[in-house]
Chain A
Amino acid sequence: MTVYDDVVCPFCGCCCDDLRIEVEENRITKIENACVLGRAKFEVYRVDRHTSPVGLQDGVPRPIKLEDAVDWVAETLVKSRYPLLYGWSSTSCEAIKLGIELAEEVGGVCDNTTTVCHGPTIQGVHDVGEVAATLGTVRHRADLVVYWGCNPVHAHPKHMARYTIFPRGRFVRGRSERRLVVVDPRRTDTARLADVFVQIQSGSDYEVISALRMAVRNEEIEADAVGGVPVERIEELADLMMGCRFGILFFGLGLTMSDGKNRNIDAAISLVRDLNARTKFLIMPMRGHFNVSGANIVSTWQTGYPFAVDFSRGYPYYNPGETSAVDLLARGDCDSVLVVASDPVANFPRAAARNLVGVPLAVIDSHISATSTCACVTIPSAFVGIEASGTTYRMDGVPLPLRKVVDPPEGVRTDEEILSAILRRVRELKRGG
């Protein structure tokens, strides 16, 4: 039996790095310290997967050789005039680098799942900046924690336990010294734990934030209620925020996906920025996939842009709405798609998904996914963080090493190996090979 300590969890953006995994004969036998989601991943990852590449032959999926699968992907990409390479947030930074290089080589668009999670957040940052910190700063100092439009009990189960509400920090000793505020249209399981729960009308976040910004600036709000919240209550919340020693606002897809999108974030960051004239206040997005931050970070240092990078003219170009995956598919702009470690057929609106299925489509994924069931070619890969090592970035930008604790099944390669092979083949083809 081998015991691995301090394993980084490859589920959500919390990247908890305190897992203890026991392995016997290449099987995981015990998982300690993981939350229900992390545990699920380690427990069941083996079940639902291909162990050989699959290709459609006369409309029927059949196992094919890896070389043939790689050839098909490379040839398709080289032939394409505007391919989309999408996914990336559930693989390692090493694989992401190869993906960017591949997209550059074939003159395609490299977009990651940020586009449908915190893409609007990044657009807010472009316009106003960000006021952030690493999570330990919150643990040590925050006496006020606000969760807005997010439900960590379900999506980031250890966030509160490890980083924000419950742990002992240097200057704030635990739950009793912190106030927890939740703002959401639903009384979520997170809201049940809150000291203050503000239930707002769905889609009225922007109005409520505007009202808070006014209250912080001592401006009179000429209404009885905003977004279904009585003005007195908004003023109380503003007082709470201004009165803390160190506050933090965590927000989720409740802000990025609902009416207002990037402007919700713009306003929320502006609110927090303004609060710094009164006290110390920070704001951070609750990033979903374990390495979606890494996808943004790597893409930004290599290309200048965090997602939706269009290499069709040889240099990086970026404009969400123009070069982002859903829009490209909605307009039917792309003539082939390579999906890596993601499931856009399940995750995109149906009309966009339909256009994805309408073009030559290849998938590299460790799971069988809705997308892989529609793909011309699927190449199964090793689970990053379980069967393959690499680097990930936690939601606050702290880099962490992903560990390989078991071997992948015979014949299953890592994303890195598969992408390297495709890149090699693409270069051969471009040289006329």
Chain B
Amino acid sequence: MVNFLVRRVLQALGVILAISLITFFILNIVPGDPVQIMLGDLATPETVAQVRAQMGLDKPVWLQYLNWAGNMLRGDFGSSYFQHRPVMELLLVSFGYTIRLASFSYLLAVTIGLAFGILAAVFHNKWVDKVLMVLAVGGISAPNFWVAIILQIVFGLTLKWFPISGAKDFSYYVLPAIALGTRYAASIARITRNSMLEVSKQDYMRTAEAKGLRDWLIVMRHAFRNALIPVITVAGTDLGNILTGSMLIESVFQISGIGKLMVDAIGQRDLPLVQGGVMYIAFICVVIYLIVDILYAVVDPRIRLGGGTRSE
């Protein structure tokens, strides 16, 4: 188990390094010069050149990367060109909002997703199954920012059940969590249902029945435990997407999370902030993949004790 972890951690670090290289390269060929934006309409060619020199933007790309990487290893992500605050501080603040939004919507997604998935599988081909699955497919199909706008108007403004924007306390996160969460609840429900159906055809399910166990014990301990493996994969990548994909929801509900920070930063070409942000998100994604692998081992002993091959 230990070398399994070490190998995965090393691979994770490699991935983060690769992502930092790719991001740095892309940000350098993205058109639009941050200094030009900084100086705005009053910029004259000489001042632009002078400022670029001061910020070290005139050095060759690889040198800039080495400086940046060197600082990063010391924990200094540099400071934002425009907000003049250390990138790490900005990321931590906005990550706080994103974590709250992501955890609410993820909790919603997992609970509803698993519940719908198991119910649909247990009542396979009955009306419950059909209704839940159409709802699930519907959940995936609607563009989440469109759903967000409609929720905001209907439940926020007209019915005044929930605040329409901001992020002060729990009630502020209800609508955004619904808008963001439905899509992932739907995908978890579908994968759970299919996985449960596939598992229920296995021989050990018949053995469980032959033992005369109670229904819910068969469903939960035997079917669900085995169905969990593919669900974990989807749930893992979904968490990654929620953490990074919530930018549209954040902009509609004015929650200054990481997604919105990144979109604005790219708009302003705030390179250190974008670079730091992408590293942060990549780090989160890689950590999630690690957790997913560990969860695999916890749920499936064939991996934990070696010997078994995990199907992709």
A binds B: no
